[in-house]
A and B are shown apart, each in its own frame.
Chain A
Amino acid sequence: MIFVGCQTQPVPPEAREAELLEDDLRRAGAPVYVPEGTFAYEREHRAAKDALIREKAKPGWFRNYEQVRSKYQDLLTQGRNVLSKAKELKEARLAVLAGQMADLRRRISMVKEVSASINENQEVRKNLTKAEVAFREAELHAGRENLTEAEQKVNTARSHLARSEGAVYALLERYQDAGQVGKWRTWVAETIAHSKKTGQVVLIVDKLARKLTLYEKGKPATTCDIGLGRYGLSDKIHSGDDATPEGKYKIIRKIPKSAYYKALLLNYPNEEDLKQFSLARKSGQVSSRVSVGGNIEIHGGGQGNITRGCISVENGAMDKIYPQVVTGTWVTIVGTADLDNGVMKVIRKM
């Protein structure tokens, strides 16, 4: 009896639980998500430890851990609340990150889609690739729950993507100008009206849509995909600019055997082109050693080609077009006549 009465009281198990809970808080990132709550827990934990130490310092038969136990129980309740809050906030941060990554993925995919329609896409694609690399790094960090690093990589990816999107906007600025598009639409309407009125075949080339349409009596009869110049979305000003001209042209020669299967030579430069060239030269935009250029054709060789300014089509498509056109057939080349085409829709979403 005496022996039992003199036995030293065991340290309350809550003390160990509080230690483990502190580890759990650290692992759950509580110092980041609930800094004040974590600090309060650590402070109270220290106080509870001090109380425990004071009690342990007493001779065994004077020790009474009841108050200490009660302190620790309060501490555990406090700590569990902090842990739960930290987990909640971490989940919320993960959800925000997931949202940002989904948005980034969507934007990357849109720019990629648009860039496929643009030959002059070097800056777009280069920065897009850098954005994709940073995005993948963000995914790897997020997979390990390194959220801060993942967020940093998301920001890096965003900045590369912004450069890529900026390059797309710069390239397609003219295509979003209502006045310019209106002018192109008028050309198209006039050309179709001419076909309807005369019953003649006409060709309309939409550079942005990358389509050539053959109209018969004012109605579309054949449509095919096209390739353009390296800087095909720009209007041709001079030789060597690798741009595809915009304007109302005519076929001036049919070439049954050309370097690119069959070809239809256009009357570039027309009067408008010559005026534009002259203005560009006067303003110093074009060097005096450069000419206006020529030899713009619609030719075979494949729509995936990058030309020096010509319009290329698949040989099969050329076989369909070639017999239907004659010298003098109208060919109207526009940036775009369709503000609702796929590329413009994507641009508006970007």
Chain B
Amino acid sequence: MRGYAKLFVFGLIVAFAFTSCAKQPAQELNDAKAALEAANQEGAAVYAKDEAAKVEAALTAAQDEITVQSKKFFKKYGNVKQMLLQVKTDAEAVKALVPARKEEAKANAITVQTEAKAALDEATALLEKAPKGKGTKADIEAMKADLKGLEESFPAIQTALDAQDYFGARDKAVAIKEKAVSISDQVKAAMEKVKR
């Protein structure tokens, strides 16, 4: 009788051990998913695209492994837990990358915005002091109209910055800056024409 009791207790211990080991890592899975979601919400899909894709692939692999283990008689989730913990850590690392990259993109856009403004100001100043009435007035007037087009386009850079579209803001600033520089060059050429 005592032997049966011992066997029963042993059986319980074994069953407990298997059950506890066989439990699916639901919490770890949720944590990993949440970490990846948080990274994506931060803007990882834009600012850390490749890194986020890698983490997502690792999460899919972990989920596949959970399915594999769930179909086995002797389930072992130890490895999957490690995978999910790694996914969580990597997702957090990706999320941490985003603010710096966002800041970099923003700073870059603001730098070009400032350069574009300086180029616009230079072109405006040159047009103001350009000699008129000696064969250049029509050219100067045309360039003033060009400049007006640039001035009206300029606020869209800030709109893009406010919408956190830093790449879009940078592109617009680059385009405006290049055009403003070309106007300045034309004004200088017109001034040279007058000197000659």
Contacts from A to B (Cβ < 8 Å) = 19, 23, 26, 49-50, 53-54, 56-57, 59, 115-116, 119, 121-130, 132-134, 136-137, 140-141, 149, 227, 230, 301-306, 314
Contacts and interface: CB of A to CB of B under 8 A. Distances in A.
A130 B171 contact: no
B137 to A, nearest CB: 5
Contact of A125 (B149, B171, B175, B176): B149
A38 to B, nearest CB: 16
Contact of B139 (A123, A304, A314): A304
Q: Is the interface of B mostly helix, strand, loop or mixed?
A: helix
B105 to A, nearest CB: 13
Interface size on B, as a range, is: 20 to 34
Given A130-B149, A305-B137, A137 B142 contact: no
28 contacts: A19-B57, A53-B68, A57-B72, A121-B145, A125-B142, A125-B145, A125-B148, A126-B152, A129-B147, A129-B148, A129-B149, A130-B149, A133-B150, A133-B172, A133-B176, A136-B179, A137-B175, A140-B171, A140-B175, A149-B168, A227-B137, A227-B138, A304-B137, A304-B138, A305-B133, A305-B135, A305-B138, A306-B137
Q: A-B pairs with the 10 shortest C-beta distances?
A: A129-B149, A302-B135, A57-B71, A125-B145, A304-B135, A136-B175, A126-B149, A122-B145, A133-B175, A129-B146
B153 interface: yes
A123 B152 CA distance: 12
**Which of A56, A128, A134 has the largest count of B CB atoms less than 10 A from its CB?**
A56
A230 B142 CA distance: 11
A303 B133 CA distance: 9
Determine the main DSSP class of A at the interface with B: helix
B174 interface: yes
